[in-house]
Chains A and B, each alone.
Chain A
Amino acid sequence: MSEGAQVSEGSEVSVAAEAGRIAVRKTYKLYVGGAFPRSESGRTFEVTDHAGGFWANAALASRKDARDAVVAARKAFPGWSGRTAYNRGQVLYRVAEVLEGRRAQFAAEVRLATGVCRDEALAEVDAAVDRWVWYAGWADKIAQVRGGVNPVAGPFANFSVPEPSGVAAVLAPRDSALLGLVSVLAPAIVGGGTCVLVASARYPLPAITLAEVLATSDLPGGVVNVLTGQVAEVAPWLASHMDVNAIDVTGAPGGLADDLAVAAAGSNLKRVLRLPPVAWTADPGVDRMFGYLETKTIWHPMGL
């Protein structure tokens, strides 16, 4: 490939060339179990910027990468869900801190991916950080809002507490490079669940950069696993996987969402999140976050 001709402005190659240095190019890999492995299949695909120029190669995840990611997510589940809600909130807030520290990098990637102007890109990054902080604040409030003490006609203390469903498969939205990604990812883990995120095929690189943020901010490895590649290739395997407990089909293209919902129901009755399309800048509401929770109700006998 004649890189010189195809490389876009703003990429590492052209920046380094201007400064007279050898380019330090980044290999975008997957994020599984806290590590950044290449695809088990060894495949990659070309990611282009908004103008169609070569940006980078990203790993093209296979079904076996999806399988490994589910194993990693399952392994991380007891630890993450077992933490106190307060501690989860702290860890998620830390993610927002690190995200904020990489503001310029994310803005550059959003620009390159979508072609928006600098101010718009910065506004999207800021909105993403704010969104993450908003969800971090929810961590130790979910139980009060979603749970409760129930009145019953009998000598029992009866209360309901929300519990995470387990491992979720999250298909990131196709129409947003960063804000939409953050808006589907944070609610999947704030309640104590773990997840396998399938990045949008159009904007995979911000998802991997976000994984770098997660890897360096006290979030235990395996709580979030990021796959890049073709959603239509890996999503059916996740939808039918007996060890996946929920699926968010937001990023499923065309008729695939229907197939995924059928596969999810036909295997182990996964919780399927199929929320109406929203503007990612709007108030996210609590549906997405509560969709990953189940209610445990406890009847505790009381002495008379």
Chain B
Amino acid sequence: MDVTSSDSALRGFLHGLPGVDEVGARARAEELARRSVKADAKRLALDLAISMIDLTTLEGQDTPGKVQAMCAKARQPGYGAPPVAAVCVYPDLVPLCVAAVKGSPVRVASVATAFPSGRAALDVKLADVKSAVAAGADEIDMVIDRGAFLSGRYLAVSEEVAAVKAACGDAHLKVILETGELGTLDGVRRASWLAMLSGADFIKTSTGKVAPAATLPVTLVMLEAVRDFARFDGGRRVGVKAAGGIRTAKDAFRYLVLVNEVAGEEWLDPRYFRLGASSLLNDLLMQRVRMEAGRYSGPDYMTVD
């Protein structure tokens, strides 16, 4: 049975998902956060984390110069580090990024659908998506209509995600759940399933504009959802992107441990796990320099971005 065929079927399915043990999820996330990653494993983890970064700038004050500099850094972070996974910008800056990362493995992601609030008519959102895709975006980060989700109009959310997916064409679709506005971990689990059932290639925690942004328990629940969904839907693997508030190498490692322990090793790949961040890259590079040079580096020796 196609659960997205009607509002009642969808509600029945989503509310039939087992509830999340909130205390248990927190405890598990906390326990995994205590794992330490050292020496050779740390070296590998640093480069893996760098290769999973969606280097992001989503500010009203973004200028072409700033975005160009970010793209240059995305291609070549320096200190021998591998390129990052993608750059993530507003739709109007996509053409600039496409030109700036040409010839490198770095992909261009664009937020769309009236980011960050998602408060616009569907045709406006679809036009937003189409213009970004036409400009050459490889990945689209859409936001769900949280108002519709919280009032229980799941089919409306599902249809919107499906329509955006259709508008994306070959571009990958990341669906931002904005977990800081969903209230409970049960809500996070339902929104994750809703997005995946509607065609998401990635589910993403947050816009970065709402606090709390990505947290370990939320990401844990989302990783469980993609793991279970792969068993449910004939092995289709959906990715997870944790975005917002991940600033230090230590934070990043906690997410990597979580991915490995919850979803499994197959997800430890930039195709299935991403970290949306801006200042994180400098901290990872500083750690890399520390391991190479045997002394601590400082922010004076990193780019100001």
A residues contacting the other copy or chain, number (CB 8 A): 12
- Interfacial chain B residues near A240, Cβ < 8 Å: 294-296
B300 contacts A by Cβ under 8 Å: yes
Tell me if B105 is interfacial: C-beta within 8 Å of chain A: no
Within 8 A of B (CB), among A219-242: 237, 240-242
User: How far does the Cβ of A116 sit from chain B's closest Cβ, in whole Å?
Assistant: 39
Shortest Cβ distance from A242 into B: residue: B298
**A244: which B residues are within 8 A, CB to CB?**
298
Least distance between A68 CB and chain B CB atoms (Å): 11
Interface assignment of A202: CB less than 8 Å from any CB of chain B: no
Interface string of A237-278 (1 = CB under 8 A from B): 100111110000000000000000001000110000000000
Asked whether any CB of chain B lies closer than 8 Å to the CB of A70, the reply is yes
* Contact with A237, one of B296, B300, B301 (Cβ below 8 angstroms): B296
Q: Is the CB of A267 within 8 A of B295?
A: yes
Most interface-central of B294, B295, B296, B299 (chain A CB within 10 A): B296
**Pairwise interchain contact A74-B296, C-beta atoms closer than 8 A:** no
- B-side contacts of A174, CB under 8 Å: none
Contacts of B300 in A (CB 8 A): 242-243
Interface positions, chain B 94-147, Cβ under 8 Å from A, are none
A103 interface residue (CB < 8 Å to B): no
Contact call A243/B298, Cβ cutoff below 8 A: yes
Contacting pair A70 B296 (CB below 8 A): yes
**Residue pair B295, A237 in contact (C-beta under 8 Å):** yes
A67 interface residue (CB < 8 Å to B): yes
Give the complex CA separation of A263 and B293 in angstroms. Answer: 12
Name the A residues within 8 Å of B295 (CB-CB): 237, 240-242, 263, 267
Shortest C-beta distance, B304 to chain A (Å), equals: 14
Chain B contacts of A70 at CB under 8 A?
Answer: 296, 298
Question: In the bound complex, what is the Cα–Cα distance between A242 and B297 (angstroms)?
Answer: 5
In the complex, how many angstroms separate the beta carbon of A70 from the nearest chain B beta carbon?
Answer: 7
Distance between B146 CB and nearest chain A CB, rounded to angstroms: 34
Give the Cβ gap from A47 to chain B, nearest Cβ, in Å: 28
Residues of A contacting B296 in the complex (Cβ-Cβ under 8 angstroms)? 67, 70, 237, 240-243
A46 to B9 CA separation, bound complex (whole angstroms)? 66
With A and B bound together, what is the CA distance between A263 and B296 in angstroms? 12
Chain A: minimal CB distance from B69 (Å)? 22
Q: Which of B247-305 contact A (CB under 8 A)?
A: 294-301
Complex Cα–Cα for A263 and B294 (A): 11
Residues on B with C-beta less than 8 A from A241 are: 295-296, 298
Contact partner, B297, options A74, A237, A243, A263, Cβ 8 Å = A243
Bound together, the chains give a CA A237 to CA B296 distance in angstroms of 7
Q: Which residues of B contact A243 (CB under 8 A)?
A: 296-300
Residue of A nearest to B250 (CB): A64
Which chain B positions have C-beta within 8 A of A74?
Answer: 298-299
Hey, which chain B residues are within 8 Å of A267, CB to CB? 295
A window 159-214: CB within 8 A of B:
none
| Chain B residues with CB under 8 A of A237 | 295-296
Residues of B within 8 A of A67 (CB): 296
CB distance from B225 to the nearest CB of A (A): 34
Q: Which residue of A lies closest to B301 (CB)?
A: A242
B279 → chain A closest CB, angstroms: 13
Kindly list chain A residues whose C-beta atoms are within 8 Å of the C-beta of B299: 74, 243
A272 to chain B, nearest CB (A): 16
Give bound CA distance, A31 to B32, whole Å. Answer: 27
For B301, list chain A residues within 8 Å (CB): 242
Residues of A within 8 A of B298 (CB): 70, 74, 241-244, 268
Q: Identify which of A237, A240, A242 gathers the most chain B CB atoms within 10 Å of its CB.
A: A242
CB distance from B282 to the nearest CB of A (A): 12
Which residue of A is nearest B299, CB measured?
A: A243
Within A40-98, which residues are at the interface with B (CB < 8 Å)? 67, 70, 74
Contacts of B297 in A (CB 8 A): 242-243
B176 → chain A closest CB, angstroms: 31
A267 to chain B, nearest CB (A): 6
In the complex, the chain B residue whose C-beta lies closest to that of A263 is B295
Q: How far is the CA of A67 from the CA of B295 in the complex (A)?
A: 10
State A74–B297 Cα separation when bound (angstroms): 13
How far, in angstroms, from A67 to B289 measured CA to CA in the complex?
Answer: 14
Q: How far is the CB of A69 from chain B (nearest CB, A)?
A: 11
Listed A/B pairs (15) with beta-carbon separation below 8 Å: A67-B296, A70-B296, A237-B295, A237-B296, A240-B295, A240-B296, A241-B296, A241-B298, A242-B295, A242-B296, A242-B297, A242-B300, A243-B300, A263-B295, A268-B298
Given known contacts A242-B301, A243-B296, what 14 new A-B pairs fall within 8 Å (CB)? A70-B296, A237-B296, A240-B294, A240-B295, A240-B296, A241-B295, A241-B296, A242-B297, A243-B297, A243-B298, A243-B299, A243-B300, A244-B298, A267-B295
Q: Which residues of B contact A (CB under 8 A)?
A: 294-301
Closest 8 CB pairs of A and B: A243-B298, A240-B295, A242-B298, A241-B296, A242-B297, A67-B296, A242-B301, A267-B295
